[in-house]
Amino acid sequence: MSRRRTTKSTANTKAPNDGTAWGHLSDADLLKQVAAELARRRVARGALDLDAIESFSEGSQQDFGQETLSATVAALGPEDSSPKPCPKCGVPVPVKTHNRVRHVLTLAGEFRLSRNYHYCRRCSAGFYPRDLELKLPAEGEVSDAMERRILDFGINDTFESSAERWSIHYRHSISSNLVRRVVDRVGVRCEAARELALQRACNPAPAEPVPALVVASDGSMLLTREDAWREAKVAVVAHLTPGRDGAPHEVSSPRFAAILGGKVEFSSAVAAALAAERADEVPLVAWLGDGAPSNWTLASELCPFAIQILDVIHALQHGNDCGKALLGEGDAALPLWAARIEQLLAASNVDLLVRELLDCLPFTTTDAHLGALDDLIGYYRTNEHRMQYRRFRELGLPIGSGIVESAHRHVLQARMKRAGQRWGLVRGRRMARLRAAYRTAGPRRFHRALREAHFVQARPPPQRPLPNGPRRVNRTYTLGRGSPINRRNASI
């Protein structure tokens, strides 16, 4: 493998020979000459160690970028005032306002652009031909390349920490509110995109349906500002590939759906993930869940032919809870109780399991004992067909819901459940969707996928007001330690 890590120069190596002062030099030669001259001057100013060389090189890049940017914008020349074709209907429309100024933050620095505004009465829409020519984003104060980078920080870390970490990587600093605005704007785009289009953009649908899929869904609680704890639901749909030599299936290519909201929204998000995998045509679908009835309702609605599997850990846990209720916490016989349940579950012998539990009936002395036993038997009877672990193992299917528990951790908790975090509902809902798309697409594809999905089939964005970030206010009043309006708790 080559040890060379420096990227090759992309500068043009052909001289234009257009009769200008530098016309005899190609872009690459011009760059070399400027670099050599700058280096000569820097060496003349004093000794250089590696740190100084690196810092000089980085500074030159920055200066050069800034100069190139200003020169290129200046070279665009003034806009002429002739009527320009409306991007919607194509009819030329005259200028309505001259020289409207816009500031755009780019990787090379900030640039100021003054351009003409045209208004088409027929379409009742205004446009800036120069913005269209430069392909500037319609809204916002950052270029597309900046947006992609800011988003990468804001999707992985708190807005404050993102702004701080930004300054380690780049010379110009950004504010936490800019990170917040960028994430908000992209979040609106994410919410406006059709779910199926977004799933396909994040992770292209397979050309042919895969032989087997696993689906798992689960909920966990998130702290919100409006009504304390709200349930956030996560679902994962992944490919199951047969393991070698009879080993269990391997899980790969997961796609996620995450919703902070109601059942209907969650159901449609999971349906989109399934549709993207063409689940209707997949011969084997396994749906894993804990005992929550809503899971099975969802499974029956969206994937009636799926094999439903009760997470084995939950099945064991229920058995152990009953054992504790009957024998008492810390009883010496508890490990034996747990081992027997595990043995019968592994053999998929639910009938014998229930019979042995019924044999315990004469030993119950209180209502609590009877209740615990009755609950457990009911639970096992209801889920009997979901506890055929021996058959599931033979088919190579997973029987533990570790896949969705880990999804909870890396899709939601890594960003949304940090110490002291409280989410406003609007922003929390957006972040949950963004995180699912981010984890499905991966960091490299994420930003492009959102754009693609938005342009493919946009639907009108929901009209919800955007709350501003917490303002910096000078207060002299000190809040009590346990005060519910403690600002540290209130900021995201």
Which of 11, 35, 53, 89 forms a contact with Zn ion (CB under 5 A)?
89
Complex with Zn ion: residue 120 or 279, whichever CB lies closer: 120
| Distance between CA atoms of residues 197 and 454, nearest Å | 8
Complex with Zn ion: residue 84 or 451, whichever CB lies closer: 84
Residue whose pair of structure tokens reads 């053999």 in the numeric block: 347
Dihedrals phi, psi of 420, to nearest 5 degrees: 80, 5
Complex with Zn ion: residue 86 or 174, whichever CB lies closer: 86
Min CB(128)–Zn ion separation in Å: 14
Min CB(146)–Zn ion separation in Å: 30
Q: Which stretch binds Zn ion (CB under 5 A): 2-10, 56-64, 114-122, 290-298?
A: 114-122
Complex with Zn ion: residue 122 or 487, whichever CB lies closer: 122
* Rama region for 90: left / alpha / beta (φ>0; ψ in -120 to 50; rest): left
Complex with Zn ion: residue 87 or 442, whichever CB lies closer: 87
Contact 233, 259 (CB under 8 A): yes
Q: Which stretch binds Zn ion (CB under 5 A): 68-76, 120-128, 248-256, 445-453?
A: 120-128
Complex with Zn ion: residue 116 or 162, whichever CB lies closer: 116
Q: Which stretch binds Zn ion (CB under 5 A): 15-23, 60-68, 86-94, 436-444?
A: 86-94
Q: Which of 249, 363, 362 is nearest to 309 (CA)?
A: 249
Return the ∠ at Cα 293 (arms to 389 and 223), rounded to 5°.
110
Complex with Zn ion: residue 123 or 395, whichever CB lies closer: 123
Q: Which of 238, 234, 210, 203 is nearest to 221 (CA)?
A: 234
CA dihedral 256, 257, 258, 259 (to 10 degrees): 180
Min CB(460)–Zn ion separation in Å: 20
For CA atoms 217, 223, 225, 226, give the dihedral sign: positive
Q: Which stretch binds Zn ion (CB under 5 A): 112-120, 193-201, 267-275, 457-465?
A: 112-120
> Strand pairing of 307-310 and 284-289?
parallel
The size of the interface with Zn ion (CB under 5 A), counted in residues, is: 6
Min CB(94)–Zn ion separation in Å: 12
Contact 255, 235 (CB under 8 A): no
Complex with Zn ion: residue 123 or 327, whichever CB lies closer: 123
Sheet holding 229-241, edge to edge: 250-260, 229-241, 212-223, 284-289, 307-310
86 forms part of the interface with Zn ion (CB under 5 A)? yes
Q: Which stretch binds Zn ion (CB under 5 A): 60-68, 85-93, 401-409, 452-460?
A: 85-93
Min CB(59)–Zn ion separation in Å: 47
| Distance between CA atoms of residues 457 and 313, nearest Å | 42
| Distance between CA atoms of residues 417 and 231, nearest Å | 12
CB atoms within 10 A of CB 327: 17
Which of 120, 188, 258, 357 forms a contact with Zn ion (CB under 5 A)?
120
Q: Which stretch binds Zn ion (CB under 5 A): 84-92, 103-111, 266-274, 468-476?
A: 84-92
Which of 24, 98, 112, 122 forms a contact with Zn ion (CB under 5 A)?
122
Contact 139, 185 (CB under 8 A): yes
Min CB(126)–Zn ion separation in Å: 10
CB atoms within 10 A of CB 157: 18
Min CB(127)–Zn ion separation in Å: 9
88 forms part of the interface with Zn ion (CB under 5 A)? yes
Complex with Zn ion: residue 76 or 91, whichever CB lies closer: 91
123 forms part of the interface with Zn ion (CB under 5 A)? yes
Min CB(459)–Zn ion separation in Å: 22
Complex with Zn ion: residue 89 or 336, whichever CB lies closer: 89
Q: Which of 434, 492, 357 is nearest to 188 (CA)?
A: 434
Residues that bind Zn ion (CB under 5 A): 86, 88-89, 120, 122-123
